[in-house]
Structure 1
């Protein structure tokens, strides 16, 4: 009885793995070794692929394909010099093997010599039987060079050679999007769909283009066609839900997102969006239920924790909001959005020292919004931490030079510290920039506002001729 191709491959794998376990030596023909190596590479089992290549070359030292697998693994491990030497030796024997040109191009590409890589790939294109593969590699080289027009051209040629190469289709659309050519992308996809009317990937991409153009009705129709073409296409249901949200059809959006939960394991994204839709519909119980499911599914998704925290914050349930944001911080203490919320919640609870810590952490993590500098500084003033407040506002001026809200505060603090020259300097800067913000001094530093020297500076600003 003759074995089928798959049965033969499985039999060869079983024999090979049995040989490794027993340390015995069995003979395989070169094609069997090639299939074994290919299987391990496809499954990411590099160590086993290397072992099979080594044993294969011991039994078949002249096998070009096994040598090419060996070279591919050297390139993968960035041992480019060894790979190059082996390729040069192979090239002397087989100058018409396109795989040699492809691997040489691969080495050049890794060295950022993309033009030279393209030259070799063009030579490979002249002799290959698999044009689509080489055209795709050419497209990638142009992508690396950020030459999107040429990249698009070669990916289009690739798709002409193999109409089911969806990675080429995705890359074509990526080029259109980068070139800000949404309308041209739609025209191209429509031409493609005329030949392949049930291609769910193309319909999905048409929908995304219309979504970017804010033409939600056409986007919805495209995603529906994607679902008709493949009713288990999760991406189409998710995108359809997103469009329905934009159209404020929240119940319909929930229905679309919910389909994905029955097709595969729930995704945190779908659970989050369902929660958001329920919140928009005013169903707080279901919204919280799905937000909780979202963080249970993926505790690293910050949007889930933020959704729960913001829900309670908006409803003035600050203790509950604090509970959830503290849980989030325990999972990821480097998330600036968590610390911003931690600060705001504690501020609402009049826990000013904790609020100051939150704003300080947010600033340390790179959140240089003016509001963070101002609120932290005001808290420090209320806590009587004038020196720290001065440092805070001086740092703020590095990002917002001569900003009146910062200048008025610095003026008030310096006067409070009896450093009147510095106080006068910042007050004059502030008045010059925005005299209407003088109420900052009046509200935050009432005793400073009543000082004669301050009144005189204000009077001189209003009436410079007196």
Structure 2
């Protein structure tokens, strides 16, 4: 008795198994040959062949052509959620996020509890800045499936809306569900680092390095934290490891440069910062640090050049105008130095250093009344910092210069300074005169910036210890000798430049 003959497959699906086999083996050229034959036999009516051809075109970067083919699949089989999801995906890759949202909503009507649809809806809403709906869809996706990508995206949404506490809660939940995910551990560590919670930051970054010793983001962040506390040699050892993974990283070379700066190796610092500037010419933080080093070396024209460039990129930072005023003072351009100081005090609402420096500048130029006004404003800011933080510490040099100015202006001492603790020598001096956390992170780019130096990088311009940064030597009537002032109190000098100062109104 003969065995029954194998049934013939319908012509529309006859080569589907071959197409599938070659596609999963990534033998795309052979796969396209079978797809062509299948479509010729079926007059272009084989849904699977069109679907795989669209996938291959997307892999080749031909997004528009793949979109047209996925739309053909959706016409052939309008009840397929996969077809609608692929159409939406292609629209997303083309940057048409609103159109993608419509197709994802259509797919959601066919498949309500689909993690991929809800996650991608949240991503699309994120890109069109509809953060409320993005949060709703991402939370729905997490109820269906706790996926690490959804946790990451939800955390970004909270960061962009300025809710750092919610972002930290999301990342903590994510780490509980994915304790070995180095990306989540590193991100959470960076958030704690940004908030000044060094113990928790070190814990999570250390865990990330335990699972992946070559995680350059965690290495860079850990090195930055050590650098902030003055451990320059230990930080440099970390950066050597990171340099093997990302030799062309601007934040890496910025941090290395500031380590050399902390070790008073200024030429090496400038060399590294110049490399960071070459790799990222529009990063105002690198330009700020270059200006800082040139001020320290009393190269005021170069400092003016870099600080002006930094202000053109970030014109809302008062400390930048203050440093520029120092360079201008040393270049014997008192008029523009005055304008720079005025801009600095207008923009800065919390840093007493700005007002103290302006007060010294005005006193040296004979305007004692205006100097007294700035000194009193400095006292007001110090008292506010004292009220807002019981642990606020002030740089000893700032305290010393403030007391000398008080004596010179013959005013009562209305400030009760908090003396630095016994271990203050191991802590970074703060140009803002107090240690307060920086602004919250806002995006992936901002998370990347958290890894750029914690030295002179954040809103409070925290500077490394042991450097005694000398921007200038200032001669005051009430000081018999030239006094070396560091970033926290000085920066009053002469300034003149051949360049036209156009950044100020």
Residue from 19, 22, 28 that aligns with 1:3: 22
- Whose helix fraction is larger, Structure 1's or Structure 2's? 1
1:78 is paired with a residue of what secondary structure? helix
Other-structure match for 2:81 = 64
- Bigger mean CA offset, 143-152 vs 318-327: 143-152
TM-score by length of 1: 0.53
Distance 1:299 1:398 in 2: 36
Checking the alignment, whether the CA contact within 8 Å between 2:328 and 2:334 is kept in structure 1 is yes
Partner of 2:333: 351
CA 1:138 to 1:12, structure 2 compared with 1: closer, same or farther past 3 Å?
same
> Are 2:303 and 1:321 equivalent residues in the alignment?
yes
CA distance in 2, matches of 1:359, 1:210: 41
Shift of 1:65: 1.0
Residue 195 (structure 1) aligns with: none
Measured on the aligned residues, the alpha-carbon RMSD in Å equals 5.7
Verify: 1:77 aligned to 2:97, yes or no. Answer: yes
Check whether the contact 2:358–2:374 (CA below 8 A) recurs between aligned residues.
no
Please give the per-residue CA displacement for 1:357-397, whole angstroms capped at 9, x wherever unaligned: 212333454466455456557767988999xx97x998998
Question: Where in structure 2 are the equivalents of 1:424-463 lying within 5 Å?
Answer: none
171 and 49 in structure 1: CA distance in 2 versus 1, 3 angstrom threshold: farther
Partner of 1:29: 47
SS of the equivalent of 1:312 reads helix
Q: 1:403 to 1:268 in 2, by over 3 A?
A: closer
User: Aligned pair in 2 of structure 1 residues 379, 96: CA closer, same or farther (>3 Å)?
Assistant: closer
Residue by residue over 1:393-436, the C-alpha shift from the partner in whole angstroms, topping out at 9 and shown as x without a partner, is 989989987999xxxxxxxxxxxxxxxxxxxxxxxxx9997699
Pick closer, same or farther for the CA change 1:265–1:32 going to 2, 3 Å. Answer: farther
Q: Which residue number in structure 2 is paired with residue 339 of structure 1?
A: 321
Cα separation, 2, equivalents of 1:253 and 1:181:
18
2:285 matched to 1:295? no
Report the Cα distance in structure 2 between the residues aligned to 1:132 and 1:274, rounded to whole angstroms: 39
Report whether the alignment pairs 1:304 with 2:286. Answer: yes
Map of 1:111-122 to 2, 5 A cutoff?
A: 112=132, 121=141
Q: Matched residue of 1:342: which SS?
A: helix
Segment of structure 1 superposing worse, 232-241 or 295-304: 232-241
Contact 1:151/1:175 (CA < 8 Å) preserved in 2? no
1:53 aligns with 2:35: no
On the 8 A contact 2:290/2:303 being kept in 1, the answer is: yes
Q: Structure 2 vs 1, CA of residues 33 and 147 (structure 1 numbering), >3 Å: closer, same or farther?
A: same
**What is the Cα deviation at residue 276 of structure 1?**
2.6
TM-score, normalisation: structure 2: 0.50
Larger-Rg structure: 1
CA pair 46-373 structure 1, distance change in 2 beyond 3 A: farther
Three-state SS of the structure 1 residue aligned to 2:248 is coil
2-structure distance, mates of 1:180, 1:369: 18
Q: Output one character per residue of 1:252-304: Cα deviation in whole Å (capped at 9) or x when no partner.
A: 54344234334334222222222233334443332222222222222223333
Determine the C-alpha separation between the residues in 1 that align with 2:197 and 2:319. 34
CA distance in 2 between partners of 1:239 and 1:265 (Å): 16
Residue 355 of structure 2 contacts residue 378 of structure 2 at CA under 8 Å; is this kept in 1? no
CA positional deviation for 1:343: 0.6
1:400-411 to 2 correspondence within 5 Å?
none
Name the SS of the counterpart of 1:355 in structure 2. helix
After TM superposition, list the pairs within 5 Å mapping 1:173-192 onto structure 2: none
> 2: distance between equivalents of 1:148 and 1:332?
26
Q: Which runs of 5+ in 2 are unaligned?
A: 1-17, 36-42, 384-408, 416-476, 479-505
CA distance in 2, matches of 1:14, 1:376: 76
- Distance verdict in 2 for CA 1:368–1:351, change over 3 Å: farther
1:159 equivalent to 2:150? Answer no
Q: Is the 8 A contact 1:30 1:60 kept in 2?
A: no
Distance (Å, rounded) in 2 between the aligned partners of 1:179 and 1:324: 28
> What number of residue pairs does the alignment pair up?
354
Distance 2:33 2:367 in 1: 73
**Residue 106 (structure 2) pairs with residue 86 (structure 1):** yes
Asked if structure 2 preserves the Cα contact closer than 8 Å seen for 1:268 and 1:294, the reply is yes
Stretch moving more, 101-110 or 360-369:
101-110
Once the 2 structures are TM-superposed, how far is the Cα of residue 355 of structure 1 from its aligned partner? Answer: 0.3
Q: 1:141 to 1:39 in 2, by over 3 A?
A: farther
Deviation string, structure 1 residues 331-355 (Cα, Å, up to 9, x no partner): 6555544322111122234321120
> Runs of 5+ in structure 1 lacking a partner?
17-24, 126-130, 186-204, 212-218, 405-429, 437-442, 445-466
**Matching residue of 1:209:** 203
TM alignment of 1:136-147, pairs within 5 A: 137=150
3-state secondary structure, aligned to 1:65:
helix
Partners of 1:138 and 1:323 lie apart in 2 by 43
